[in-house]
Amino acid sequence: MGSGNTEGTGRLRSAWTAAEVNLAAAVCAAQFAVAATVWWVGTFDDDDHGAGLGGGLAAFGLLCLLVFGPPLLAGLGLLHAVTCTMPAAALARLARRRARGPETAWHLALVLLLGTVWAALAVLLLHLAPTGTGTLLLAVSGVLPALALARARRRERLTGRPQEEQRVWLRSALLALGACVLVVAAGTVGLATGLIREYEPPKLGADRLTGVWRGDHGAVLRLRAGGRAELSAVPAQPEFGDVTTKEFTRCDGTGKWFLDTAGRYDPYADGPASGRRDGVVVRVGDCGHDTYWTIGGTEAHPELFVLFGDPDAGDLRVLRRG
């Protein structure tokens, strides 16, 4: 708790009132919901790597989102309020007592400073890109709650009525819901009109596929010209079990590879050939079954991936150019 400036009544006003903490948390939770929706719409043109929730799993996932989403967002909003917005508010009050300038300006400056500190910790601990979208959003995540607090304080000074605590969460939830609906509608219209293009995998010939591909845990796949393949700790379909199992083996040794341009060897492919994706079939003796590496990524940054297990909840493994 921090003591604030002397008001006209001569009383010290706390910078950590319950109403202000509630307001900061509610606004932050709302912006997190909208940011998550914008991110989801931004994946409309991404490669889903053959995975997805369908049927009953999709309904179950939606139910979990509706049940656990609101309390999770509320918890994140409260955490942000007590670690960023409100500490910056207390420091702003203290700074204004010792220096000139409006309290709102101090609050915005300090909330940006604290947000940058938390973003830097996220870069170090979570290995986020220093200039990535997530890092930048985390750095500025306290701006909107700080502006909401400034507006509420100004309104309290003008009306003489304290801030309402009961309705702030309901209002934030309704505003967030409306904004999320608008974002989803805009994304849907973008897909329908072609402003957002659906993902299309790159078309790679054997010459583009030849080279070194690397994955996690030291996986290295070398595709040589002429169809020779060299593997080191490369995931492969197990010799026993069907395609729906998540279990896989890691292969070392040499084998053969070839390009499949019609998806005939893709164990997950069904329907017309026009809907199938190109891939690379890798065969290694005494090391499981043939493994179908689907071509993904982009022309500039191609990928090879395989999904072990059920597409609704499989184990995705990706190789990228070395």
Confidence band of 205 (pLDDT split at 50, 70, 90) = very high
Asked whether residue 257 carries a pLDDT value surpassing 80, the answer given is yes
- In this prediction, residues 264-292 reach a mean pLDDT of 75
Greater confidence (3 vs 252) lies with 252
Greater confidence (40 vs 246) lies with 40
- In this prediction, residues 129-148 reach a mean pLDDT of 91
Residue with tokens 């998550």: 36
Long-range contacts of 245-250 (CB under 8 A, 24+ apart): 245/308, 245/309, 246/308, 246/309, 246/310, 246/314, 246/315, 247/308, 248/288, 248/308, 248/315, 248/317, 249/287, 249/288, 250/217, 250/219
Tell me the C-alpha distance between 157 and 242, whole Å: 70
Asked whether residue 10 carries a pLDDT value surpassing 60, the answer given is no
133's tokens: 């979208």
> pLDDT tens digits, residue range 73-96?
999 999 999 999 999 999 998 888
When mean pLDDT is compared across 13-22, 205-214, 286-295, the lowest value belongs to 13-22
SS3 196: coil
Model pLDDT, residue 255: 92
Tell me how crowded residue 71 is: count the other CB atoms within 10 A of its CB. 10
